[in-house]
């Protein structure tokens, strides 16, 4: 963190987490039964994150070292077309872990030169089309439901990715890529 950052700027940066802590403390004090359950749930969430985050960062380090930028640009960068989109969807669908783990991976993809649309496709697939979920749906809901949902999800993911790419300002996308390079 910047040593010259003022206290006011630091508080502004962390206002949401601070508000959450104050809210949780208020619940524990004023509505103890709800507060204790909320506190327990918060601790459980942190424990789960601590189990997921370290392997994700190891994976990110390996991706950063093992995959040359030129390879990523060739497979998911400008000009990769349908193959890049298909690879982004496949990687997102094959991934394991909660959605918050996808964002650092997406940052590495951006750092390595994947297009913004392919990064959005990857995130959409991670959140919606995971293979274990599809297999569960197939056994529990049947093929008609599973493939209808999967097809509509893929159409939705593609529509959202293209729309977000089109309507996000060029300067905003450039800023996102600059932030990714700082990872």
Do residues 40 and 82 share a domain? no
What pTM was computed for the model? Answer: 0.77
Do residues 167 and 99 share a domain? yes
Range of the structural domain that residue 39 is part of: 1-52
Instruction: Tell me how far apart the alpha carbons of residues 165 and 159 are, in angstroms, rounded to a whole number.
Output: 10
110 within some domain: yes
59 within some domain: no
Q: 57 or 109: whose pLDDT is higher?
A: 109
60 within some domain: no
Query: Count of domains in the chain?
Result: 2
- For a pLDDT cut of 70, what percent of the chain falls above it? 97
Rg of the chain on CA atoms, in Å: 20
Average pLDDT over residues 112-125: 96
Q: What is the pLDDT of residues 165-182, one digit of tens each?
A: 999 999 999 999 999 988
Where are any strands of DSSP class E within the chain?
none
Do residues 95 and 164 share a domain? yes
Do residues 106 and 168 share a domain? yes
Q: What angle do CA 87, 91, 94 make, to 5 degrees?
A: 135
Do residues 79 and 159 share a domain? yes
Q: What does the pLDDT read at residue 53?
A: 85
Do residues 36 and 107 share a domain? no
């Amino acid at each position: 963190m910047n040593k010259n950052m003022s206290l006011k700027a630091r508080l502004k940066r962390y206002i949401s987490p601070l508000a959450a802590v104050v809210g949780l403390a208020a619940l524990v004090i004023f509505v103890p039964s709800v507060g204790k359950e909320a506190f327990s749930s918060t601790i459980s969430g942190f424990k789960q994150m601590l189990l997921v985050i370290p392997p994700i960062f190891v994976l990110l380090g390996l991706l950063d070292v093992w995959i040359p930028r030129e390879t990523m640009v060739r497979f998911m960068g400008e000009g990769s077309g349908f193959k890049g989109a298909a690879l982004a969807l496949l990687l997102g669908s094959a991934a394991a872990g909660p959605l918050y783990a996808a964002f650092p991976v997406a940052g590495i993809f951006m750092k390595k030169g994947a297009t913004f649309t392919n990064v959005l496709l990857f995130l959409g697939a991670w959140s919606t089309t995971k293979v274990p979920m599809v297999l569960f749906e197939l056994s529990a809901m049947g093929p008609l439901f599973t493939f209808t949902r999967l097809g509509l999800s893929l159409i939705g993911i593609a529509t959202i990715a293209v729309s977000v790419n089109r309507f996000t300002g060029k300067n905003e996308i450039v800023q996102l890529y600059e932030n990714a390079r700082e990872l």
